Structure 1
Amino acid sequence: MTTAFGTDRSSDSDTIAAAVAAAAQAAAAAMPAELVLQAGETVADPESVPLPPTPGAAVTAALGGEVSGDIVLVLSEEIVSALTNSPVGPMDVATALRPALEAAAGALGRVRVAAERVEDVVAALDGLRDKGVFLAVPLINGTEIAATLALQVTLPRPRERRGSLDLLRNVAMEVTVEIGRTRMTVSELLSLHPGEVIELDRAAGAPADLLVNGTLIARGEIVVVDEDFGLRISEIVTEAGEYGAPPA
């Protein structure tokens, strides 16, 4: 399995730090505030996480896919205030930061975020302790830290979950098919009207994603079955195929 951490799960700390730095820069570019943010130096000590001078809130989410773990984005009070006092009305902070979290996850490989929520900054960072590889990267606006990306990741270990999956084979799971996404500015949202066409980030005919609890499982082609939409699977993109076959 190839991820941003390399094909070998024994990747050295420099390789992991480089992957997280790339994730931080991707998050910086997708932040919903009009700030020019640059990723700073990566920190591996949870006791020395560089934070904004006045932290406002933390958005945390689970990571799933080629790597698993948790991700936290600590925001300055200024960014939180800008979101909650938006011209279109108070914005949900967790929802507004989802594109930044997804951009960071995408830089790590085929990784999805799920269950994003706002938490107290201290509690969110404490939740990352003693779970896996911990790294944090400040996102700097000029000379001041405007946000901080912190995460802990655990690289997958194939086949170790066979017994657990056997117990869960008959549990019903919610499945979502996604055909595409886009990003729009506040002014574009305010100007929406019936009949307007919103262009998504995928070409017509491109495969759609099959998600289970926010985790990308497969891709396929949209079809019509008895006047209902369906998905013809063309690619399995996680270990679902490996675990899915019943034991011999």
Structure 2
Amino acid sequence: MTIATTTLGKAAADAAATLVPSSVPLVAVPASFADVPVDSTAMVASFVGSPSAELAVVADGAVADAVAAAVEAGTPLAPVDALRPALEAASRALGSGVLETVRTEPVSKVLAEDTEVYALTAGDVPVAWFAVRVRGARVTTPTTSQVPTPRANLRMLYDVEMTLTAEIGRTRLPVRQVLELAPGAVLELDRTAGSPADVMVNGRLVARGEVVVVDEVYGIRVTEIVAGGEQVG
């Protein structure tokens, strides 16, 4: 069976292999998604960049050993934290971007036929598994008869995920006051109660809205779209 891989996927797998907890060096070898044990748990993180991707490491045994060693040393370690360095290394191989919070998911929900999978092996024995699934359109070189229009160029970005942040206010403090902060301290922000919150993408103001609660989760109801987007310093 031919296993499809990409140079970018292999680079990400090689980077992850160096930081998966193991007493011996691991080597990334192309594998099939069907080779990964279906009863295992995957540590998954979304990477938002160019390209954006879903990254996953399956390493139940390595994680259990790392957690046990940390407990024995008196420094408890969460399972997701044991594999975050490997996922961070893989994300850096993809390029600049942001790696979201690591979460756990069943292998059956993570792997599919369009996922690049690599066995992280010691010798010929798989110790862990790495998977990467690139989201969005891949860039190809157009022919002279297929030059994309501006709208087509924009459509290629539709699946790229972006991180939105909401800001209810700011303040400026001298270093001395920052160092003196303690639980219970109250900071006065630069806007009055009830003022709209700013919705920003990569530090650029795109909208304003009011803070709401939806099923016990905070949300923003957009009340104004900011034309052109203002850069927030």
Task: Say whether the 8 Å CA contact 2:136–2:157 is kept in structure 1.
Answer: no
Question: Alignment partner for residue 62 of structure 1, among 35, 46, 53?
Answer: 46
- Given residue 29 of structure 1, which amino acid in structure 2 is its aligned partner? T
In 1, the alpha carbon distance for the partners of 2:76 and 2:204 equals 44
| Residue 109 to residue 22, structure 1, CA distance change in 2 (3 Å) | same
Greater Rg by CA: 2
1:55 Cα deviation (Å)?
6.4
Deviation readout 1:43-74 (Å, 9 max, x if unpaired): 4xx4x3x336x965310111111221311111
| Residue 121 to residue 155, structure 1, CA distance change in 2 (3 Å) | closer
| Residue 38 to residue 161, structure 1, CA distance change in 2 (3 Å) | closer
Alignment partner, residue 172 of structure 1: 166
| Residue 246 to residue 120, structure 1, CA distance change in 2 (3 Å) | same
Q: How many residues align?
A: 161
Deviation readout 1:118-146 (Å, 9 max, x if unpaired): 22232333xxx48xx52111111111101
Mapping of residues 1-248 of structure 1, within 5 Å: 17-41=6-30, 43=32, 46=33, 48=34, 50-51=35-36, 56-75=40-59, 77-86=60-69, 87=72, 88=74, 90-125=76-111, 129=112, 133-155=114-136, 159-160=154-155, 172=166, 226-228=173-175, 240=202, 246-247=227-228
TM-score calculated relative to the size of structure 2 = 0.55
1:241 Cα deviation (Å)?
8.2
Task: Say whether the 8 Å CA contact 2:64–2:79 is kept in structure 1.
Answer: no
Consecutive unaligned residues in structure 2, runs of 5 or more: 138-151, 179-200, 207-225
- Given residue 174 of structure 2, which amino acid in structure 1 is its aligned partner? E
TM-score calculated relative to the size of structure 1 = 0.52
| Residue 155 to residue 122, structure 1, CA distance change in 2 (3 Å) | closer
Q: Which runs of 4+ in 1 moved over 3 A?
A: 155-163, 239-248
- Secondary structure in structure 2 of the residue aligned to 1:30: coil
1:96 Cα deviation (Å)?
1.5
1:32 Cα deviation (Å)?
2.7
Instruction: Determine what percentage of the aligned residue pairs are the same residue.
Output: 25
- Secondary structure in structure 1 of the residue aligned to 2:21: coil
| Residue 162 to residue 113, structure 1, CA distance change in 2 (3 Å) | closer
